[in-house]
Structure 1
Amino acid sequence: MTDPDAEIDGDVYVFPRYLAGSTYTGDPALEPLMALGWELTDDDLGNVYVTAPDRKIRLGYLPEGGDDGLWRINAYSDRFGPPAWGVSFNDQCPTEFVTAFTMALAAAYQAGPEHYLAQPDPADPELDAFHAVVPLINRGWKIQHPRWGVLELQTPDGMAGIEYAQGRLDAEKELTTLQARWYLWGGPKISSGWYATASTNTPIPLVTAITESVSDLAPLPRWKDHMLRGLRENAQLIPVTPPPPPVPTPLDVRRTAPRRAPALTTRNIPRWSTTTAPSAVLPSRSSGPRR
């Protein structure tokens, strides 16, 4: 849950969140694993490596890697054998999506190997995988025209999608190329787009953590000037701090000024007089006695 008192790291909220772009910092995604005491090392280039205490999960944060795969996470049933599964995120992927994954991974690691090495149901792996796309369907993502061996969904605006490859795949290619069981993408074009991959045996709850975060309707905070142009032009940007009301014009002031009460003016008011006008003729008094 977001701390309502925390300082917001950005000047705009971006909606939909799959057009927010990266925050260009890896700390939030590393924190769930570091909180469990995982070992952190780095190299002379600035790449960071985080390893689980049992050495069966390894994460690489590789800003100086050989390609745009900024995040690479592998799990091993045998620490000296090939990876059991692998997940990757490129350098444009919103960091919040990676954080959602590492939070789920931390919970699975605490629950034990039967969770972080759980494989899809061998009896019906596609039915098991369907659980990971349910959040997308519930939030309006549409199934695309059928392609041989691929289940694809996209957002109504066509700016994000997911592909699930069916059938048998090359295990090595899944870990080293984009030809993985799961492929998620977002953005208006390649130069400002992001992607994430997950190989065949990635536990479905971990994949679901990604799809839940990608399709979440809550916007993400960003610094507008740090966003790529293609994202700014296609996303809805809402200022974090509402703009101040416009300065009223002289006409606005006159229109809203309270009306003054009319001023009192001198008026002639007739009064009853206790004197008689000089021109009035008075009746004569009677001189006879009273009776």
Structure 2
Amino acid sequence: MLHDDHDTIDGDVYVSPRHLARATAVGDPGLDPLRALGWDLHHDDLGNAYLTAPDGKVRLGYLPEGDDDGLWRINAYKDAFGPPAWGVCFNDSAPTEFVTAFTTALAEAYRQGPDHYLARPLAGSADHNPFLAVAPLINHGWQLDRPDLSIFAITAPDGLATLEYTTGDLDPAIELDTCDARWHLWAGTSSARPFWYATASTDTPVALLRAVTEAVADPAPLPRWRDVTDSYVKGHAQLTPILPPSPPSPTPLDVRRAAASRRPAALPAASVPRWSTTSRPALPGPRR
């Protein structure tokens, strides 16, 4: 769902670790970095949104009414009318903050030119080595494993998130349409039924992938609403209530005003009493 007010994502609990949070209902944060560059936005009759770069070489689809669970699909093209040079997909449960990290990096790469948003990962290259995308996870305690000769896997300390990198030759068409892509990031107890997943094809620029892994590795929790979080994480995440902000500290003027309000009111000036029925009777005079 898109909103015009672009409210900050909020909630009543913090979810930790953040890879166990789910998507929010607000898609604007993921679109805003590219919309800020003046990319063309239009919608179809179903409510799907599409962003296109001015040169037509990068396209984003936000597809809540798409044919599958691929909510976010981003493709780049060397030729605006040719096949994609690379493609990335985040499914409908992937945390929105991870999508925003990707689109923020993409916006920066697009500003710098095609050499950045079409930069191919190259083993041995200082700036485009694909394993630069893995470093943020390893630096935060994720463990490197190799379940078989064709896959490298990096797993979170709690065992509930994994980044898989497949070696060897892959079919570009299959990479774009299935989870059998070069990069497969997912959370949950099984890749067959993940909490959420994201994929990236072979030639996705390393800087864009690293932006996502940095967001995933960040130890800060994510705010979410408890009523949609409990069932999603199935008791695996730590949920901490978001406390209301503390009242501001009083200023010296506030202290003086409070003291003045507690001071007793001044007594009225004394007055000469008049005769009344409540006055003391006159004393009797001396006898004659």
| Alignment partner, residue 201 of structure 1 | 203
CA contact (8 A) 1:178 1:197 kept: yes
Q: Does 1:139 align with 2:167?
A: no
* Larger of the two Rg values belongs to structure: 1
Q: How does 1:1-291 map to 2 (within 5 A)?
A: 9-121=10-122, 128-188=129-189, 193-231=195-233, 233-241=235-243
1:187 positional shift: 2.7
CA contact (8 A) 2:186 2:194 kept: no
Instruction: Return the letter of the residue paired with 1:233.
Output: G
CA shift digits 1:2-57 (9 cap, x unpaired): xxxx9761111111000011112211100000001000011011100000000000
Structure 2 residue matching 1:234: 3-state secondary structure: coil
1:169 positional shift: 0.6
With normalisation by structure 2, the TM-score equals 0.78
1:232 positional shift: 5.3
Instruction: Return the letter of the residue paired with 1:81.
Output: G
Instruction: Return the letter of the residue paired with 1:164.
Output: Y
Closer, same or farther in 2 for the Cα pair 1:76/1:243, shift >3 Å? closer
Q: Distance in 2 between matches of 1:91 and 1:158?
A: 22
CA contact (8 A) 1:141 1:155 kept: yes
Contiguous gaps of at least 5 residues in structure 1:
1-5, 245-291
Q: More deviation in 99-108 or 115-124? A: 115-124
Q: Distance in 2 between matches of 1:169 and 1:27?
A: 33
1:123 positional shift: 5.9
Q: Distance in 1 between matches of 2:129 and 2:32?
A: 29
1:230 positional shift: 4.0
CA shift digits 1:103-132 (9 cap, x unpaired): 00000000000000001126679x811111
Structure 2 residue matching 1:79: 3-state secondary structure: coil
CA contact (8 A) 1:188 1:230 kept: no
The two structures, once aligned, show a CA RMSD in angstroms of 2.1
Closer, same or farther in 2 for the Cα pair 1:242/1:148, shift >3 Å? same
Instruction: Return the letter of the residue paired with 1:98.
Output: V
CA shift digits 1:116-175 (9 cap, x unpaired): 0001126679x8111110000000000124411111010121100000011111011010
| Alignment partner, residue 270 of structure 1 | none
Q: Distance in 2 between matches of 1:8 and 1:122?
A: 38
Instruction: Return the letter of the residue paired with 2:74.
Output: I
With normalisation by structure 1, the TM-score equals 0.77
Q: Distance in 2 between matches of 1:27 and 1:231?
A: 24
Percent identity over the alignment is: 59
Q: Distance in 2 between matches of 1:7 and 1:113?
A: 31
